[in-house]
Amino acid sequence: MKPPSPVRAALAIAAVVLAAAGVATGSGIPPAAAATALPAHVFAPYFEAYNGDNPVTLAQESGAKYLTFAFIQTATAGSCTAYWNGDTSTPLTSANFGSAIATLQADGGNAIPSFGGYTADSTGTDIADSCTSVSSIAAVYENVISTYNISRIDLDIEASSLTDSAGINRRNEAVAQTEAWAKANGRTVQFSYTMPSTTTGMDSADEAVIKNAIADGATVSVVNLMTFDYYLGTRQEMATDTESAGQGLYSQLKSLYPSDSSSQLWGMVGITEMPGIDDYGSNETFTEADAATVLNWARSEGIATLSFWALQRDNGGCPGTGGSDSCSGISQATWYFSNTFEPFTSGSSGGGGGVTITGNNSKLCLSVSGDSSTPKTTADISTCDGDSYEQWTVGSGGTIVNGDGECLSVTGSSTTPKATADLYTCNGSASEYWTVNSSGTIVGSNSGLCLSVTGASTSPGATADLYTCNGSVSEYWTVG
């Protein structure tokens, strides 16, 4: 671990209210109202939720639609009740940030509440370090999901939290329990794990956290590396370090998840920068030129998340100052880094992600075989787990587009029954157009055949195909 950093100390002073007391596990908004997944590729800078700023105002001024709200923690070590900023006067209710988050969602974005941070992680007030009851920790996670109707939680794990083996295990068990709760309640939920970085990827402590998550059955959607505060004593090329850290993380994930494809692995990578001068000082300065380089790299590799600490620093108000929470320390236009990174968000329509298309008979989601982004990959049905390959945008013109921007189509543009449904680059082909009927059928506009499942199978991995519309149970789907 790096020496304590003032910014990470600030990074952790905020904690999202999660009043575990009185929260009934499994309660929440009905499935029909549940939030959908974030875009496959999302820019979501941290918002310092503890200093009185209005997140809606900052989002509108900066153009950043998705904000990571920092932080959630308990008021005292040993407690199982969490609050924004660990402040008992701001419990988790719609009165605290509820209206602001709802406005972000209405404006086509969303919030990602973040638990932990440097202060919480070094004082025993991260919920997983503080509370010894896994079910109570899970209830806190579930409460923030249902109260704010969000689809991703960020876990900022650093300082002492990286070596607290009991807390690590409780956190991962609670994540697995929350994911099971979400699935049972028709919700999409993802967890991102934000941890310190070396210039070559995760260190051994970071990697141990992910290994434990795998052992506990927790699905880690994103491993988000903080690519700053290296404290190496040398002048760093920050964009170069980001790329080498990202490549190193990819290699580590490949070892941890050997059955995942290359696109899936890159789709687990997150990067958080610190624009301008970080806590170490001027030898670690992330410049305007670095931002353009990192954006191009992130797009080319297809990483999941691009972020920075923090939105309130994105201005040039304090040239030469390192580690400030209110300015970058370099001469820059206000919102330069936000404006540069915001175009990274892609892979869905506005509004926080696409929709799922679920087989009424199988209860499985229409997806892509092997979670591949390669054109001509077969469409199939799979267990609904909230990943981006299950998210679809149903266009007003009749296209059905997945999170990678590919159209649901038919192999060889066939109009013959039993032809396989696949994914292909959207090019205006007649086989890319569908009619989604209120009855639940999805009919190929070119073929007049129903989207179905080979052999009316209800098994994960079964191929989606076209068949004569005949009222078979496998022809009916729920969109949304």
As a whole number of angstroms, the distance between CA 328 and CA 4 comes to 19
**101 and 228 belong to one structural domain:** yes
As a whole number of angstroms, the distance between CA 344 and CA 242 comes to 16
232 inside domain = yes
**319 and 431 belong to one structural domain:** no
Segment 143-186, tens digit of pLDDT: 999 999 999 999 999 999 999 999 999 999 999 999 999 999 98
Residue that is last in its domain, among 283, 315, 344: 344
Q: 474 forms bridges with which residues in the sheet? A: none
Provide the CA 151 distance to its chain's centre, in angstroms. 8
**416 and 467 belong to one structural domain:** yes
Neighbours of 439 (CB within 10 A): 11
Residue that is last in its domain, among 344, 370, 401: 344
As a whole number of angstroms, the distance between CA 348 and CA 388 comes to 9
The whole model's pTM is what?
0.71
**232 and 106 belong to one structural domain:** yes
pLDDT of residue 18: 34
**163 and 306 belong to one structural domain:** yes
pLDDT of residue 370: 87
CATH number at residue 221: 3.20.20.80
204 inside domain = yes
How many structural domains are present in the chain?
2
349 inside domain = no
Burial letters 62-90, b for 16+ CB under 10 A, else e: bebbbbbbbbbbbbeeebbbbbbbbbeeb
**Residues 142 and 181 sit within 8 Å (Cβ to Cβ):** yes
As a whole number of angstroms, the distance between CA 444 and CA 472 comes to 16
**402 and 306 belong to one structural domain:** no
pLDDT of residue 209: 98
Instruction: Specify the residue for token string 């001509």.
Output: 376
* H or E, element range at 135: helix 134-148
Q: What is the mean pLDDT of each run of 10 residues along the chain (480 residues)?
A: 37 35 35 67 96 96 96 97 95 94 94 97 98 98 97 98 98 97 91 98 98 98 98 97 98 96 93 98 97 94 96 97 97 96 70 71 92 86 82 78 82 94 84 90 94 95 96 91
As a whole number of angstroms, the distance between CA 192 and CA 194 comes to 6
Closest CA to 14 of 106, 127, 81, 114: 114
CATH number at residue 426: 2.80.10.50
**380 and 337 belong to one structural domain:** no
**Residues 328 and 284 sit within 8 Å (Cβ to Cβ):** no
322 inside domain = yes
pLDDT of residue 394: 80
**Residues 162 and 122 sit within 8 Å (Cβ to Cβ):** no
Closest CA to 121 of 219, 214, 263, 1: 1
Segment 184-194, tens digit of pLDDT: 998 889 999 99
As a whole number of angstroms, the distance between CA 410 and CA 381 comes to 15
**236 and 294 belong to one structural domain:** yes
Range of the domain at 68: 6-344
66 inside domain = yes
Instruction: Specify the residue for token string 């995760």.
Output: 202
pLDDT of residue 25: 36
**265 and 200 belong to one structural domain:** yes
351 inside domain = no
350 inside domain = no
**301 and 387 belong to one structural domain:** no
pLDDT of residue 347: 61
As a whole number of angstroms, the distance between CA 415 and CA 444 comes to 9
Which residues fall within 8 angstroms of residue 72, CB to CB, at 6 or more apart? 14, 15, 16, 17, 18, 82, 83, 84, 113, 114, 115, 116, 127, 140, 144
**336 and 364 belong to one structural domain:** no
CA atoms within 13 A on the CB side of 104: 32
pLDDT of residue 301: 92
As a whole number of angstroms, the distance between CA 372 and CA 375 comes to 8
Q: In what order do the strands lie in the sheet with 400-402?
A: 392-394, 400-402, 406-410, 421-425
Angle at alpha carbon of residue 232, lines to 226 and 234, rounded to 5°: 115
pLDDT of residue 214: 98
**Residues 42 and 66 sit within 8 Å (Cβ to Cβ):** yes
Residue that is last in its domain, among 318, 344, 370: 344
Max CA distance (Å), the chain: 71
Q: Is the dihedral of CA 160, 166, 169, 170 positive or negative?
A: negative
**147 and 205 belong to one structural domain:** yes
As a whole number of angstroms, the distance between CA 342 and CA 339 comes to 5
